[in-house]
Amino acid sequence: MLRTNRDALVCMSVMGQVTPPRRRGAYRIDRDGQPFVLPSSGGITYNVKVGDPAFGWAGDHVEPCVSTAAVTDDNRSDPKNSGYNILACIGNKAKVVSGDAKGAEGIVTGMHGGIEHVLIDFAGEDLEKMCIEDKILIKAFGQGLRLEDFPGITVYNVDPDMVEQLNPESSGGTLTVPVAKRVPGQLMGSGLGAPDTASGDYDITTSDKELLDQYGLWDLRFGDLVALENSDNRWGRSYRSGALSVGVVVHSDCMLAGHGPGVTTLFTAVDGSLAVTDDPKANLADILSIGTKRA
């Protein structure tokens, strides 16, 4: 078992609500200069779940299942939204506390930056009862987590229980985490250069089709754990030779320049103490029995 500072972590309530989809005008312009009108982030997405493909949807920045924010007005940089996005961690338990779906339980599956959404998976029958602006309570637990035997690994955005469920292997001063895919650092785009990684995500750009072919990324799924090669996510997001980060795919492919499937960071190191092993089942749906793997 990993030695962590779990007993010192603070478990705190944060409250969100189901967000309405937001638009500024009908059209957006894709990376090839073509206008498009497609569903995007926000709302309750009934037919897109963790475990489903991240590519192939007639959509842009699609978020699986339920999108939430602390406040749903146009000021997404409101401190309440920042606090909600930063403190919620992947794997945290969530509960609906208002409306017809009151009492339904879900699991946090990711954070989407810029729009400051926290994404939550619920069972299909609960989605049918939920409405925009229903309130959801999350027991935020995980920020500040340390791996006591691996001081070179910085941890963000993950519930301690989920770290154990990943079943990482420890040997010779190296922690090895399972991943479904490996992503070259030169593909990382929107969100690169952000000053912290304790909120939001950053995107795997999808303009370079040959590199996507080479790394077998076309079958990425929502919830996949991915290795970001040569990516330093300790104190922001930057390219650094030899660094390694591991994160979770949280939203779909995007058609805008510099965008693509978003990744929320879980682990990052520059000293070689973090390693990965390939496992096609390294996905939140399989690990947590949610999304496409719900009973």
Q: Where are the domains of the chain?
A: 9-140, 154-293
Task: Look at 75-89, 133-147, 212-226 and tell me which has the smallest mean pLDDT.
Answer: 75-89
Write out the two tokens for 124. 């299909």
pLDDT for 295: 80
C-alpha distance across the termini of the chain, in Å: 28
The answer to whether residues 282 and 224 touch, using CB atoms and an 8 Å cutoff, is yes
Summarize the confidence of residues 110-132 as an average pLDDT: 96
Please state, as a whole number, how many other Cβ atoms lie within 10 Å of the Cβ of residue 90.
Answer: 26
Q: pLDDT tens for residues 273-291?
A: 999 999 999 999 999 999 9
Is 154-293 in the same CATH topology as 9-140?
Answer: no
- Contacts (Cβ under 8 Å, ≥6 apart) of 52: 64, 221, 222, 291, 292
Pairing of strands 65-69, 274-278: unpaired
Q: 277 is written with which tokens?
A: 């092993």
Task: Assign 175 to helix, strand or coil.
Answer: strand
Which pLDDT does position 26 carry in this prediction? 85
Q: Which CATH class is domain 154-293?
A: mainly beta
* Cα-based distances in Å from 134 to 85, 97, 164, 172, 231: 17, 8, 31, 48, 37
Q: Which pLDDT tens digit goes with each residue over 177-191?
A: 999 999 999 999 999
Q: What is the pLDDT of residue 289?
A: 97
Picking from 102, 142, 141, 114, the residue whose alpha carbon sits closest to that of residue 18 is: 102
Span 65-79, average pLDDT: 88
Q: Are strands 174-179 and 274-278 parallel, antiparallel or unpaired?
A: parallel
φ/ψ region of 242 (left if φ > 0, alpha if ψ in -120 to 50, else beta) reads left
We find that the CATH architecture of domain 9-140 is Beta Barrel (2.40)
Distance, CA of 120 to CA of 14 (rounded, Å) = 13
pLDDT at 78 over 90: no
Q: What's the rounded Cα separation, in Å, for the pair 54 and 193? A: 24
Kindly state the DSSP code that residue 283 receives in the 8-state scheme.
B
Statement: the pTM of the whole predicted model exceeds 0.85: yes
Torsion of CA 224, 228, 229, 233, to 10 degrees: -150
Asked if 280 and 180 count as a contact pair (C-beta separation under 8 A), the reply is: yes
How far lies 17's CA from each of 14, 20, 107, 131, 138, in Å?
Answer: 10, 9, 14, 9, 11
Q: What SS3 class is residue 277?
A: strand
Q: In angstroms, rounded to a whole number, what is the distance separating the alpha carbons of residues 121 and 66?
A: 6
